Amino acid sequence: NGGDGTDHAWGGNYMMMGGSVKGGQILGKYPDDITDGGPLTLGRGRMIPTTPWDSPFSGIASWLGIGTGGIQEVCPNLYRFNSSYLISAEDMFTELRPTGSVMPSAYSSSTPSHVESTLPSIYP
């Protein structure tokens, strides 16, 4: 499209699951007023998001071991927001990855793994 993706949406909700996820919490800020006259309402059901897209993904990237040198590649607009908008890995996860641990993508293999699926196939 000609809008560089900005015509699709500005914000959304994310749900995380997993053993190290610090559950039972909502991160970010829910708008105080979601009526048509609210300060973040644009009309026709559109709202200005209160938490930048980069915020949860910067915390996830940090947990995965992406350092400050690589975070701008993962979250290129992060510099546009002050730290009060960011969600840290410590806020999202109960266990942090040990410093210097190898990221999963660092493991290489010359042959792909093969695991049989238990799901039905659309092919006979």
**Which residues, 6+ apart, have CB-to-CB distance to 54 below 8 Å?**
75, 76, 77, 78, 81, 86
Task: Take residue 40 and report the two structure tokens written for it.
Answer: 């973040």
Which uninterrupted H or E stretch holds 120? Answer: none
Single-letter residue type at 76: P
pTM over 0.75: no
Task: Give the residue from 78, 43, 41, 46 showing the smallest Cα distance to 59.
Answer: 78
Q: What is the mean pLDDT of each run of 10 residues along the chain (124 residues)?
A: 56 83 88 89 83 88 87 87 87 76 53 61 61
| Predicted pLDDT at 85 | 83
Q: Can you list the pairs that 93-100 forms with residues at least 24 positions away whose Cβ atoms lie under 8 Å?
A: 93/20, 93/21, 93/22, 93/59, 93/63, 94/20, 94/21, 94/22, 95/19, 95/20, 96/63, 97/63, 97/64, 97/65
Task: Take residue 8 and report the two structure tokens written for it.
Answer: 């699709």
Task: Take residue 44 and report the two structure tokens written for it.
Answer: 């026709």
Single-letter residue type at 62: S
| Predicted pLDDT at 6 | 54
DSSP string, 36-47: TTSTTEEETTEE
| Predicted pLDDT at 1 | 47
